[in-house]
Amino acid sequence: MRVTKNELKKLISTKLHRAGLTSEHADMVADVLAYSDARGLHSHGAMRVEYYAERINKGGTNCDPKFDFKTTGPCTGVFDGDNAAGHVVANLAMDEAIKMAKQNGAAIIGIRRLGHSGDLSYYVRKAAEAGLIGITMCQSDPMVVPFGGTEKYYGTNPIGFGIPGRNNENIVFDMGTTVGVWGRILHARSKNEQIPEGWAVDENGNETTDPHKVNALLAIAGAKGYGLGMVIDILSGILVGQPHGKHVSSMYHSLSTGRELGQLHIVFDPARFGAFEKFTQGIADTIREINDMKPAEGFDKVLVPGQSSAKRVAAYERDGIEIVDDIYNYLVSDVIHNNRYDHKSPFAE
């Protein structure tokens, strides 16, 4: 089924509002999810709506939060999200970070007590569009085997970067610290497709390509990815006073209680280090030189992070966003949720 981005956003917002979010918060979450689908990251888009709706409906997402932002220095602050929808909290905290960085040159905002915030590129893109460099990182469910270990300890622990360029040609890059992210495994399940080799292991610790047999994920580049995931967990968990490592709450364990997750935004003004025009000229030169490079066999062009997504966005604006029929049918139905996720394992559907 193909729908326009605006149609998709309206469907998502309506469902989340019916589940219990205010219309304002439902619109904010829907904007992030529709953005993800529009850039081709379906694992963080509409397929997540039923899970969010069930958590909202069962009280695990605070629909009447009392947000609290305290500055702790000229360039630091802490945003307490009161276990509201993570997309809303991360978005509002980024607004505070942008405001602080524009005024003081830099901002480091620790975020406490929020739910799953989805596609990190959404938030760092806002910083880049404001002419700032943005970095964000967050912890997630323990589902990754540490290098050399046999038990799950850390999450996929993603990190994102947004760098401003000329004429809105920004570099936007986000990644999880695992070879494959859990959302994409969910997407593979929804389409009954295999996952690539080297992504995950089964309950016996053996690699598997069957998304239904996944018991743990593997870190990128072995010890390097494991170390990066650890640092992200420290900066977005321990630093801001939130649970860390294996103590981070499971996405599915109890949908009637808040996730208590942590996140960290770092935003700074490149103009504080030299002429902004010179900086953006360097970014423009980098993009041009990489794009002009002779591509390897099997590639049409060498791209910089964010360009593939921009192409998909253009295609979807022309042809509509493709949504799995089951997900579309749920969105247009009167069903709020089907009680599918509560108290399931971290590797639930």
pLDDT single digits (tens) 270-292:
999 999 999 999 999 999 999 99
Mean pLDDT confidence for 128-141: 97
Mean pLDDT confidence for 186-196: 87
More confident residue, 313 or 181: 313
Q: What is the pLDDT of residue 245?
A: 96
Mean pLDDT confidence for 114-132: 97
Q: What is the pLDDT of residue 346?
A: 62
Mean pLDDT confidence for 265-273: 98
Q: What is the pLDDT of residue 318?
A: 87
Judged by DSSP in three states, 311 sits in helix
Point out the least confidently predicted range of 37-51, 139-153, 177-191, 304-318.
Answer: 177-191
pLDDT interval class at 119 (50, 70, 90): very high
Catalytic residue among 17, 42, 116, 337: 116
Q: In CATH, what is the architecture of 66-273?
A: 2-Layer Sandwich (3.30)
Q: Are 163 and 227 in contact (CB under 8 A)?
A: no
What is the torsional sign of CA 323, 329, 334, 338?
A: negative
pTM above 0.75, yes or no: yes
Distance CA 232, CA 158 (A): 8
Mean pLDDT confidence for 177-198: 85
Buried-exposed string 154-178: b where 16+ CB fall within 10 A, e elsewhere? bbbbbbbbbbbbeeebbbbebbbbb
Catalytic residue check, 116: yes
Residue 349 has pLDDT above 60, yes or no: no
Q: What is the pLDDT of residue 347?
A: 61
Residue 224 has pLDDT above 70, yes or no: yes
pLDDT interval class at 148 (50, 70, 90): confident
The percentage of residues in the chain with a pLDDT greater than 90, rounded to a whole number, is: 80
Continuous segment of H or E residues that includes residue 162: strand 159-163
Give the strand order in the sheet containing 216-218. Answer: 144-145, 216-218, 200-201, 207-208
The percentage of residues in the chain with a pLDDT greater than 70, rounded to a whole number, is: 98
Question: Mean of the per-residue pLDDT values for the chain?
Answer: 94
Each residue's pLDDT tens digit, 15-59:
999 999 999 999 999 999 999 999 999 889 999 999 999 999 999
- CATH 3.30.1370.60 domain residues, the chain: 66-273
**Rg of the chain, C-alpha, whole Å:** 20
Judged by DSSP in three states, 105 sits in coil
Residue 227 has pLDDT above 80, yes or no: yes
Each residue's pLDDT tens digit, 301-340:
999 999 999 889 888 888 999 999 999 999 999 999 999 9
At residue 130, what are phi and psi to the nearest 5 degrees? Answer: -90, 5
CA-closest candidate to residue 307, choices 297, 295, 319: 295
Distance CA 30, CA 32 (A): 5
Instruction: Determine the distance from the C-alpha atom of residue 288 to the mean position of all C-alpha atoms in its chain, rounded to a whole number.
Output: 28
